[in-house]
Structure 1
């Protein structure tokens, strides 16, 4: 009898651990729904499971390993006990608190569901600009200074927030509106960021379109990457410029570092850091003084020239890349970088290849970047 009880106990424990560890199939409290995880190709910062018209979405919580914010997306809201995490889809009243979120809605051709944004300072999308100018899309302020009365009056279905900015979000939570973090910018790779179009599509009922969009992006990007896979000479490159007394350097395992490598260049920062961090001028000069290329993303005056750049800081003229006129700039005052880059990694990669290995894409017309004259 004791042996039977022993084996029954072991069997029960195995069963319990098996159920706990199997994340691809989940049952709800009543045991009626079984959810199957949808496999993503590149994105690591979110995941989701589906059962019919129900979706369980998990978004990685910034700075917390294996911790996720979870949302239940349902076609019918019955017996809702927590409106902050149970969201009826498709959403028809959406607020975006970062211009980088808009690119996914633009790609999905779904701007009519957006009722408010944080700012239109660098907004270039003609359709969205027209909605803002007509008052159909409201401007509700920036982090730490949101117009809470306007937000409450708009009665949004969901607000997409940036987990990298925290100002004012506690006040938004008190309104009882679902706050969904957009952590695409925590992805390590360009294609990882682009795959977030699938996450946004869950909220507006355009999942098939998102799959098609991403498949096209991935195919074009991989084909371009293949062009540089066998290049014999990889030009060296560094990034950034002085800002408020510091030079912010993208880490050696950052999103930007992946772009440089995929474009057939050798990024001079070799650490394993993912984000950007400040260094002094002497540090960057010791590493980058003899680099072949210098890349800058920054809001600059229209028509910035090499001469103008040198006048900002005379030390810039000491870099080899400056002297050889190999400074490439994405001027975010003139280019729609933040509202398009997330879904155009193939275009960005083509721009880089055009400059680093012109012979591979001689007919390409650079879209985001220009060489300073």
Structure 2
């Protein structure tokens, strides 16, 4: 009994003194930078792959999960002398950006900051964002080579101050190293790793830090968040949805169950037809299924959404059936519940709340004449 009382008292003492320390450590998660005074951290609703800490006098520290940290230095000021060498410096004004991550272009356009981009990793014919396409056509933005083969001479000639890359750059790490050797900080965009669709949209706030447009970013983000909030109050429809395209060898390319498209369907009040598909295979968000397997798993889906990103948009069901006659036996085809995405969908990162709204409307609308939404259209 005496031993029990001693253990109990010891536990109480430990809980009294240790737990507050742990709580304090959890709250105080910002990076201490010698010479700078911490002010506050950015509030994020869904994004988990980045954080932003603000310091006095206009400094900001961007931290990207598994990627690194970037100190954003105000115009006319310098980075602290003893700054950790692992922290890259981005000096304002941030101009002549080499933008390779296509998902970021829409966010720059939304912030009215296209003039900060001088170089693109995608040529005019690869853009479905009209502003970006026109900028490449009129020469205000130059094509500087894709991620694996940049035009270093052009990049240096344009006095590039920042390269915004997608995670594809990890396939060619020598390119990242080369850009950094030239003194160009390389920010690798990780929005594709966000578990929530609006986490991707919230990367708008990260780019706003570079452009001094945090208020505009917050307003734009809230518009999308409000669309989701309205839908979340509605009941789940119980209707199943298949999202796919047929590739060049006749297989169905589908999204894995933990992909953000599957999550959008769930948030819209539907059920993605594949509930436990390839979640642990690898980091890729899609996988191929032979048509026989796809047929067995998805033929009873209430709705079909055909992904037009790779082989172009469809206008009628006959075009879908030309890709595979097996699709004619699908419940959604027989019921006329077949939709196709617009090709700009995956470049419109800002509008993911609108896409969720579109799917919700598709699942709940009783208007038989409804044949077109913002990012989808019904096949005739």
Q: The TM-score by the shorter chain falls in which range?
A: 0.7 to 0.9
**Aligned residue number for residue 346 of structure 2:** 338
Contact kept, 8 Å, 1:224 with 1:346, in 2: the verdict is: no
Q: What is the DSSP-based 3-state SS (H/G/I as helix, E as strand, rest coil) of the residue aligned with 2:145?
A: coil
Equivalent residue, structure 2, for 1:131: 135
Measured at CA, do residues 86 and 14 of structure 1 come closer, stay the same or move farther in structure 2, by a change above 3 Å? farther
Unaligned runs of 5+ in 1: 1-12, 62-67
Alignment partner, residue 267 of structure 1? 272
Residue 24, structure 1, aligned to residue 25, structure 2? no
Superposed CA deviations along residues 78-129 of structure 1, whole A, max 9, x for unmatched, are: 4488597111123122111032210101111111111011122242444433
The answer on 1:242 being equivalent to 2:242 is: no
Q: Secondary structure at the residue paired with 1:309?
A: helix
Separation (CA, whole Å) in 2 of partners of 1:16 and 1:350? 44
Aligned to 2:78, the other structure's residue is in SS state coil
Structure 1 length as normaliser, TM-score?
0.83
Structure 2 unpaired stretches of 5+: 1-17
* Equivalence for 1:45: 49
- Structure 2 residue 152 is the aligned partner of structure 1 residue 148: yes
Describe the superposition over 1:290-334 as per-residue Cα deviations: whole angstroms up to 9, x where unpaired: 1111112124456532112211222222222222222211141xx
Task: Figure out how many residues of one structure are paired with residues of the other and give that number.
Answer: 348
Note if 1:95 corresponds to 2:98: yes
SS at match of 1:27: coil
Q: Residues 1-373 of structure 1 correspond to what in structure 2 (within 5 A)?
A: 23-30=28-35, 32-52=36-56, 53-61=58-66, 68-75=67-74, 76-78=77-79, 79=81, 85-119=88-122, 120-176=124-180, 177-226=184-233, 229-231=234-236, 233-245=237-249, 246-271=251-276, 273=279, 275-298=285-308, 299-301=310-312, 304-332=315-343, 336-340=344-348, 342-359=349-366, 366-373=373-380
Q: Secondary structure at the residue paired with 1:121?
A: helix
Q: Which structure has greater helix proportion?
A: 2
Please give the secondary structure, in 2, of the residue aligned with 1:85: strand
